[in-house]
A and B are shown apart, each in its own frame.
Chain A
């Protein structure tokens, strides 16, 4: 592709190895992007279900989820709209713990994450296991606000942030990959920021 006449890098490069290609450091701001009206969900009405190809379909209420071992992610997040936010701290529970209780069947290979709004996003099962995915209700030591997916959202920080479904309510395990909301809208099925997998058609 051609070099753009007169265009030069202006932003600082960011810390070595922390800013994926085509991304920039958003600094202290945390932009909000949603496709639907922001719902107000009372924690008393929130729950998280793991079902589909599992031995024990299980639902946790807000209180039950809070009795699971607390888990923290400290690190970076990357939005496909090209901002990267460094050194975030999220607290919640590990998806590994949810899966351990629900016990995925051997044929389960993909996850379709559902939100109470109807939003969905698809992920390979191997991207949400092994300490790579959380359900979080706290960001920067404060309750997650509705705009950022509160009371609880999925967090899969090694993939573009649309995979981290806001207002997450259900993880459905599947044998075949089934595209979610943005994926049907032209975004990539996996969304690895380091490989710049932004849109359908990206390798």
Chain B
């Protein structure tokens, strides 16, 4: 929150529930579901924002969860990557029950803090399914031919557990595995020395992942030279 880019610049926008139809459904790994939705009356979104998905039972009981958007705004469909949690009420339904053609209640885009304007030099340190907002940023940067503005470090356990790993690597991201040696890079979390060149010149830093990842990633970025007041954090947990 530097003085020239404070949260006071952020204006609220009302959102309303609408409906989204599942156009494609894939399970890149047993614990992940990739949904592409056609959303009725869809609003523009910036990379980093999220949507809420709400499920409704016949007795009008509802359950809702937030999911980061992976797609670029120009994509005709809205892409969400859902991590399936044990006993996850919403993620379990989306993984096991939902089918192409099903209609879900959706609302968004939400969040005007953890989003990238595609103009400010940025660095992302993201872990696990926390890579999703960085994928949206990458896709938007590519469309605008401003990939020079964005540096990404993505951390996963191994290639099988890191969504969008190939796309991130193609986009120039540092992909670090904690339990897998990748080429010349031995397993392990990124070091401050690895991150420093990515962070150099960044005016905003995005950290996204589990609370455990965030608690590790944030001090690492600071050690790599990032001004703590420029760090924007999004964390998620096993809320299903």
Contact = CB atoms under 8 A, between A and B. Distances in A.
Interface in B106-155: 107, 110-114
Interface in B218-236: 218, 222, 228-229, 231-235
Interface in A1-32: 1-11, 21-22, 24, 26, 29, 31-32
B105 A118 contact: no
A38 interface: yes
A186 B233 contact: no
A34 interface: yes
A22 B62 CA distance: 5
A44 interface: no
B89 A36 contact: no
A8 B96 CA distance: 13
A200 B113 CA distance: 15
Interface string B186-197: 000000000000
Given A9-B61, A83-B239, A31 B211 contact: yes
Interface residues of B, number: 56
Interface string B8-21: 10111111110100
Contacts of A9: 57, 59, 61
Contacts of A21: 62
Interface stretch (A58-66, A69-77, A99-107, A177-185): A177-185
B63 A5 contact: no
B113 A35 contact: yes
Contact of B89 (A11, A33, A118, A120): A11
Which of A37, A120, A201 neighbours the largest number of chain B CB atoms within 10 Å of its CB? A37
B235 A33 contact: yes
A81 B52 CA distance: 10
Given A1-B56, A6-B93, A185 B105 contact: no
A38 B235 CA distance: 12
Contacts of B112: 184-186
B65 A35 contact: no
A6 B98 contact: yes
A7 B15 CA distance: 24
A156 B200 CA distance: 41
B24 interface: no
A180 B179 CA distance: 41
B23 interface: no
B58 interface: yes
Given A184-B112, A185-B111, A4 B19 contact: no
Given A9-B61, A33-B235, A200 B66 contact: no
A199 B57 contact: no
Contacts of B231: 36-37
Nearest to B7: A181
Contacts of B238: 29
A7 B56 contact: yes
B13 A4 contact: no
B60 to A, nearest CB: 8
B183 interface: no
Nearest to A31: B237
B69 to A, nearest CB: 14
Interface in B58-107: 58-59, 61-66, 89, 92-93, 97-99, 102-105, 107
15 contacts: A2-B103, A4-B57, A4-B93, A4-B105, A5-B99, A6-B102, A22-B62, A33-B235, A34-B235, A37-B233, A118-B229, A184-B12, A186-B110, A186-B111, A201-B15
Interface of B: 1, 6-8, 10-17, 19, 54-59, 61-66, 89, 92-93, 97-99, 102-105, 107, 110-114, 211, 215, 218, 222, 228-229, 231-235, 237-240
Q: Which 9 A-B pairs have the closest CB atoms?
A: A201-B14, A6-B97, A9-B61, A4-B55, A184-B10, A7-B55, A185-B112, A37-B218, A31-B237
Given A4-B105, A31-B237, 13 more contacts: A1-B17, A1-B54, A3-B57, A4-B104, A6-B93, A6-B97, A9-B61, A22-B62, A31-B239, A34-B233, A35-B113, A185-B7, A186-B110
